[in-house]
Amino acid sequence: MFKTGDLIIYSTHGVCRIDDISDKTVAGETKSYYTLHPINNSQKLQISIPVDNDNVMMLTLLEADEASEILESFRSPGVEWNPHSNNRNREFLNVVHSGNRHEIAQVVNTLSRRQIEALQANKKLYEQDRKILENAKTILVKELSLALERSESDIERTIGEYLHESMATLTP
């Protein structure tokens, strides 16, 4: 069980702070609820989640050593590219929703490489791919930033450097 003040990863909202844990009565049933808010949300969105809800993905933040490992993974090629956009979209969304940060990083890695290649060819990344990349990368970068106590811009810059270095070694 989490406690008030904990930072967690919650679904597609990303990094959230648990502001409160309290009992609420909904439809005549009293349960304990977490009250969370995404830390990057300027509108102060509040989310209430039953403490005992096993269907909700709430993860503890990465430790620094695991975050370093994930950051280093951007030096290696990502996952295999599925040329069928609908299948690829489904596969990538399944990975993102799994909560496995190592696999999510590999999806972000692959999509980032494809985006760089598209830009070099004066093209754009397929819209579904761009959305997955944008959402997953935002959450991943924020979490890496917190775990490694570095700015988000520094993490983004490091990822970009690792991608460009490794792509340069792959290019004949």
Query: CA 13: distance to chain centroid?
Result: 9
Give how far Cα 52 sits from Cα of 70, 142, 153, Å: 30, 27, 36
pTM of the model: 0.86
For residue 172, what are the contacts with CB-CB under 8 A and spacing of at least 6? none
Say whether pLDDT at 56 is over 80: no
Per-residue pLDDT tens over the stretch 12-39: 788 899 999 999 988 898 999 999 998 8
pLDDT over 70 percentage in the chain: 97
Confidence of residue 57 (pLDDT cuts 50, 70, 90): confident
Q: What is the pLDDT of residue 26?
A: 85
Q: Which residues pair with 11 in a beta bridge?
A: none
Average pLDDT over residues 142-151: 95
Distance (Å, whole) CA 127 – CA 112: 13
Residue 55 pLDDT > 80: no
Q: How far apart are CA 83 and CA 81, in angstroms?
A: 6
Q: What domains, with CATH codes, occur in the chain?
A: 7-60 (2.40.10.170), 64-170 (1.20.58.1290)
Q: For residue 171, is pLDDT > 70?
A: no
Structure tokens at 99: 């909560």
pLDDT in tens, 102-144: 999 999 999 999 999 999 999 999 999 999 999 999 999 999 9
| CA–CA separation, 154 and 172 (whole Å) | 29
Give me the DSSP letters along the chain. Answer: ---TT-EEEEGGGEEEEEEEEEEEEETTEEEEEEEEEETT-TT---EEEETT-TTS-EEEPPPHHHHHHHHHGGGS--SPPPS-HHHHHHHHHHHHHHT-HHHHHHHHHHHHHHHHHHHHTT----HHHHHHHHHHHHHHHHHHHHHHT--HHHHHHHHHHHHHHHHHHH--
